[in-house]
A = this chain, B = another copy of it.
Amino acid sequence: MTAPPSGSGERLLHMIQLIASGPDTFTLGEFAERAQLPLSSVHRLLKTLERAGFVERGSGLSYRRGRELHRIASQIVSRFDLARSALPLLQDLVDRFHETALLCVYSPVSRRAVVAEVVITPHPLRFNVEKGQEIALPWGSMGPAVLAFLPKSEIEMVLRTEHAGPLTGMPRPTRDELEVEFEHVRQHGFASYREPKFDAAGVAAPVFNGENEILGCLGVITLSSRFSLTMEQEVAAALRAAAEDLSQQAAVSPSPGAMLSRN
């Protein structure tokens, strides 16, 4: 993973990932540094990407994402835009409960959940959540809601990867504790979490694709001090409903010509 990829194929894919997440313009040397690859190799590979329109050159010595890359990206997104479908659902949740609601998508590469869409609570006191942020799976509510439905082998890999908790390095829950949590998620269709020490609380419900594989989860996060148990029940029910709705939408795989009807 951290090891420099070998072979032009793997290297190219690695570079595409960096180009997507990196700055809007960059130079060869700068990029070679980030990619951890020799200059001349990066140069050659960038030339390949350039021929395909994946990157373009700006004035002088700068590179930037190419229009072909934008074209492909928007094509992919418009054909499966879970975030866009989720936005009205998230908005409803926030309108109803006045707490931050978000959609996380499981990323098998990083073995974490990525925040794909978020609607922030109007409350001035709140946890900060940003689109693109990564969430480790063994803690909180969002993580277990996803983790519980991953294949056993994948769960193993996740647990082996994660050790120190995201807030203040809290140790990972034991397998047994997690197993109890998983059982609850599978039974009731949602996970909940309370950590009075940090005044944190959350509820999350899993989202699946058409083949009943886990895609991610919808969640609501708030402060435990303003999150009553009766409210938790209501939020959980609303989340389950929203998550099922979204799973339904994800199941109908759009036909190539149906792009317009999805907007």
Contact = CB atoms under 8 A, between A and B. Distances in A.
Given A52-B10, A65-B80, A73-B73, A260 B130 contact: yes
A166 interface: no
A10 B71 contact: no
Contact of A71 (B53, B75, B79, B105): B105
Interface size class, chain A:
35 or more
A130 B10 contact: no
Nearest to A14: B52
Interface in A1-43: 7-10, 12-14, 16-17, 20-25
A16 to B, nearest CB: 7
Most chain B CB atoms below 10 A, which of A12, A23, A82: A12
A130 B78 CA distance: 13
Contacts of A12: 9, 12-13
A54 interface: yes
A68 interface: yes
B10 A9 contact: no
A49 B106 contact: no
B75 A70 contact: no
A58 interface: yes
A107 interface: yes
Contacts of A10: 48, 51-52
Contacts of A72: 16-17, 20-21, 73
Contacts of A109: 52-53, 67-68, 71
A196 B171 CA distance: 74
Contact of A74 (B16, B17, B77, B211): B77
A253 interface: yes
Contacts of A215: 67
Contacts of A263: 131
A58 B251 CA distance: 13
Given A53-B109, A130-B259, 15 more contacts: A8-B9, A10-B52, A17-B68, A20-B76, A22-B256, A23-B256, A24-B79, A25-B253, A69-B76, A70-B80, A71-B105, A71-B109, A72-B73, A74-B77, A131-B263
**Closest 4 CB pairs between A and B?**
A73-B76, A73-B73, A53-B109, A13-B52
